[in-house]
Amino acid sequence: MKFNQYYLECLSHASYLIGDETTGRAVVIDPQRDVAEYVSDAAESGLTIELVIETHFHADFLSGHLELAKATGAKIVYSSVAETEFDSVGVDDGERYSLGEVTLEFRQTPGHTPESLSIVIFEHDGDEVPFGVLTGDTLFIGDVGRPDLLASIGFTREELADQLYDSLHDKLMTLPDATKVYPAHGAGSACGKNLSTELWSTIGDQKSTNYALRAPDKPTFMSLVTEGQPPAPGYFVYDAILNRKDRELLDETAAPTAMTYVEMVEAVAGGAMLIDGRDPDEFGHGHLRAAINVGLTGRYAEFAGSILPHDVDIVLVVDPGQEIEGKNRLARIGFDRVIGYLDDPYKVMFQHRDDVQIGSRLTAQGFNERVAEMHDIQIVDVRNPGELAEGIIEGAIAIPVGQLPARIDELDVTRPTVVYCAGGYRSSVAASLLRQRGFADVSDILGGYGAWIVTVQSA
């Protein structure tokens, strides 16, 4: 058996290629939208991809089922419960599919979504203990899928949590303890609240260590998994709907259009958003006034999707050579309206210095000194609710960065403002958004809350 796990750090997304080396037949599960790596790896191994299997309609990324089907001629497979606007094949609970020696067994495991599917992998058809199970977003390492993401489109979190409990106990925990567990996401994903950094485990280990599986009864389980979830990024519902639709295919090799300064200014004046993908420190040294900083070094697509509407044009500012990367990473969440990138951005900023501003970044000590000197500072904590248990700077207003565009009216645009997060990435996103919205005096804290608490403890 050929078994490849692909892990995309910036979206905490795991996808899989499974092949039978005796027959050369293979499947891909939950592919990312840029699919060249799967096609290349299959070809190098002498495998033909004949199925693209989706464990559910993903909310946190736009899946590559259409791109991979086009590239390989593979059929697209979902649970028979799912309804798609493109050609797909539905599989029933308990149905098996043979690749030769390797056999897949489909188990319908609703709860995270109604159509959620898990795939049990047998290296040989007669094996009593499966090689593993691909659990999608039903079971994670250290957590289970959140049941509240579809609450806005027709399902209550209680209904889905009830189904999730049954799926876990009746469909997954019945597998032998030695069965390996391979989920669709790891730590950092907003699809759960306690995901491990480990990329696989076993059924036995999860029974003994996973807080949700250790719940003594269904009511306790439902309470545990419906409380304390991080706020879902704004693009989640958009992607959950788009993943069931027929749509334009991504050309992952095509670069966006180069734009002059004048063309960029005209686009921004017409409603386009200027997204600067440079590192927050470099952005702070100098950036165009209209720019919002979402660094390519971090969770770029997730935070762009958290603060931008999906229906606006986007102009990129990136270091030369990163234009395709910036476009493709936004395409991974279905943000396809990248109309171009600013050509030679450093030359542009040098030639148009009147349109360049510095982003104030304070050390933790510098922040403390500023607070001591000024008594009207507006402090904004843009971490998620679960992070606030670590503590909060006195007087801070808590607004998760993904909620900032909708809640910006809760802040006073005339007051000097300091933003902080856990480490400094999200605070640069938030501070640049506030500047773009007209806040004249905005700083963020280098090193975030972690750096600030060290200064307090050492004082």
Write down the pLDDT at residue 193.
74
What does the pLDDT read at residue 151? 57
- The stretch 325-334 carries a mean pLDDT of 98
pLDDT at 226: 84
List, for residues 403-446, the tens digit of each pLDDT value: 999 999 999 999 999 999 999 999 999 999 999 999 999 999 99
Compute the mean pLDDT over every residue in the chain, rounded to the nearest whole number.
95
3-state secondary structure of 316: strand
Average pLDDT over residues 220-236: 86
Q: What are residue 268's phi and psi, to 5 degrees? A: -65, -40
In the predicted structure, residue 448 carries a pLDDT above the cut 60: yes
According to CATH, where is 3.60.15.10 located in the chain? 2-242
Q: Percent helix, strand and coil across the chain, each rounded to 5?
A: 35, 20, 45
Q: Express as a percent the part of the chain with pLDDT over 90.
A: 90
Distance separating alpha carbons of residues 185 and 164, to the nearest angstrom = 17
For 33-57, write each residue's pLDDT tens digit.
999 999 999 999 999 999 999 999 9
Tell me the mean pLDDT in the region 166-175: 98
The secondary structure of 28-49 as a DSSP string is: EES--S--HHHHHHHHHTT-EE
d(CA 191, CA 228): 12
Q: What is the pTM of this model?
A: 0.94
Q: How far apart are CA 449 and CA 390, in angstroms?
A: 9
Banded model confidence at residue 76, pLDDT cuts 50, 70, 90: very high
Please tell me the predicted confidence (pLDDT) of residue 253. 97
Which segments of the chain belong to CATH 3.40.250.10? 258-357, 361-458
Residues 338-381: tens digit of each pLDDT? 999 999 999 999 999 999 999 999 999 999 999 999 889 999 99
Q: Which CATH superfamily is domain 258-357 in?
A: Rhodanese-like domain (3.40.250.10)
The residue assigned the tokens 């499974």 is 18
Q: What is the mean pLDDT of residues 218-240?
A: 88
How much is the pLDDT for 227? 81
The second-level CATH assignment, the architecture, of 2-242 is: 4-Layer Sandwich (3.60)
Domain 361-458 has CATH 3.40.250.10: yes
The angle at the Cα of 298, spanning 386 to 185, to the nearest 5 degrees, equals: 60
pLDDT at residue 329 in the model? 98
Q: For residue 25, what are its two tokens?
A: 């037949």
Residue 459: pLDDT band (50, 70, 90) is low
Mean predicted confidence (pLDDT) in 111-123:
96
Percent of the chain whose pLDDT exceeds 70 = 99
pLDDT in tens, 148-169: 876 556 788 889 999 999 999 9
Question: CA 305, 306, 309, 314: dihedral to nearest 10 degrees?
Answer: -50
H or E, element range at 265: helix 261-269
4 pLDDT higher than 80: yes
**Distance (Å, rounded) from C-alpha 193 to C-alpha 183?**
14
The position carrying tokens 């773009």 is 436
The region, left, alpha or beta by phi > 0 then psi within -120 to 50, assigned to residue 179 is beta
Q: What pLDDT band is residue 5 in, cutting at 50, 70 and 90?
A: very high
2: β partners: 19
Q: Is the pLDDT of residue 304 over 70?
A: yes
